[in-house]
Amino acid sequence: MAKATSVEHDYPTILVALPDTDTALGAVDVLSRLPRPVRFVVGSPAALRRAMINQPPELVLAHLDVVGQGQSSIMALCRARGWSTTIVVVTPPNRDRDAALAVMEGAFATLPLPLQSKALQATLSRTAALRALTHAAQQAPAAPISFSAANARRQAADLRRFESALDALYMVWQPVFGAQSLGPVGYEALLRTEDPRVPTPRDLLDLAAQVGRSQQLDQRILEAVAEDIAAGGLDGTLFVNIDLPQLRQGTLGSVTDPLRASARRLVLDLRSDGRIDHPVDLAAQAERLRAAGYRIALDDIGSCGDILPRLVALHPDILKIDRLAIAGCDADPRKARFIREIVRLAHDDGALVLAEGVEQLGELSTARLLGCDLLQGFVLGRPAVREHWIGVRSAVRSLRAATSA
């Protein structure tokens, strides 16, 4: 058999981990052509962890069943130890979802079984090239930052733009509906500003981070929500978006919390921003907020890869399935299966499921059929200022009174 052509980059040290002897024998023919020695581990995830700790490799080619998931995965081990090991996952047929989760947790790439020489060569070329670039970046001398007059003027202009957008900040509220009754059960607060130079909420959040005023923006949002609640007219349960830094900061639930008086009707909707490095501390913060009366929702299910640590640490009361998973779920069996599994997971843990971004009647029907408890989206109601919803309820009451007269 002809020897495979070597790639132009040097190969790293390689550790191959497979679950059983049969799978290993099937891969030996392809792997034996590599121009560098290859270490084999046959067995469980624990066997791979021991082999890596004894002699950390630069690249691991591991079967999906040996990689592990969440905090027990090989990717988590590498992060905990500060290793720059590249993980390539070997996947058996019909395991696309598990393979995608492994990549979201930090795996570099996936290769299907049975291994093919060309695919393996191409992947190793990519890993070697990435390793060379990383090494070059690490060796480059650090250059001092130069702050020119132009940069100073730009920073001053950004700060003025932020302060103007902050002064023009207000909240809109999007209704949340019960999936079975299709009646309103509450509202979600969404950020807006009248400053045309900051057209979207994401732009304002990014601008605040850029000028070092994220904490000031978070506080103003809480105050604006509290002002709308105090003004009245927002019935039911209210959702307020927060992020990890805001959760850790400690204002929520404290004596300086603008929302504390209304905590028992509020759900803190945790965005996916930020990585969870200290789940025990996060769990303690979550329990402190529950003791103050808040409930917790986990946002971005279906578009955020770091789900498992959040589930374990937060034990959320509500799981919110992102628009990315809801869109077209009535015509995509894979999305329907994903939603069904999230619903099962949530209900087994005593949590509710909210389907976000429901924009089509087919999506609405499918979300209800799959067991979602709550619905939100343009097909049911668009965001509007507090006064709008007071007017809507007044109109409904007037209509009912006229009809019953």
Highest average pLDDT, of 69-78, 156-165, 387-396, comes from 156-165
Please check whether residues 286 and 388 belong to one and the same domain.
yes
Taking only the tens place, the pLDDT of each residue in 137-188 is: 666 676 665 657 777 888 889 999 999 999 999 999 999 999 999 999 999 9
Give the number of domains in the chain: 2
Give the range of the structural domain holding residue 129, as residue numbers without chain letter.
14-138
Please check whether residues 181 and 116 belong to one and the same domain.
no
User: For residue 23, is pLDDT > 70?
Assistant: no
User: For residue 212, is pLDDT > 80?
Assistant: yes
Kindly state the helix (H) or strand (E) to which residue 187 belongs, with its residue range: strand 184-193
pTM here is 0.61
Separation of alpha carbons 65 and 110, rounded Å: 13
Please check whether residues 262 and 395 belong to one and the same domain.
yes
| Residue 146 forms part of a structural domain | no
Residue 396, pLDDT score = 60
User: For residue 4, is pLDDT > 50?
Assistant: no
Separation of alpha carbons 130 and 136, rounded Å: 10
Question: Are 313 and 283 within 8 A, CB to CB?
Answer: yes
User: For residue 107, is pLDDT > 80?
Assistant: yes
Q: Which residues of 179-214 are buried (b: 16+ CB within 10 A; e: fewer)?
A: beeeebbbbbbebbbebeebeebeebbebbeebebb
State the pLDDT confidence band at 120, using cuts at 50, 70 and 90: confident
Of 81, 112, 138, which marks where a domain is finished? 138
User: For residue 319, is pLDDT > 80?
Assistant: yes
Highest average pLDDT, of 42-56, 278-292, 326-340, comes from 326-340
| Residue 6 forms part of a structural domain | no
Please check whether residues 178 and 121 belong to one and the same domain.
no
Separation of alpha carbons 30 and 337, rounded Å: 35
State the pLDDT confidence band at 72, using cuts at 50, 70 and 90: confident
| Residue 81 forms part of a structural domain | yes
Residue 5, pLDDT score = 30
| Residue 375 forms part of a structural domain | yes
Please check whether residues 111 and 228 belong to one and the same domain.
no
User: For residue 16, is pLDDT > 90?
Assistant: no
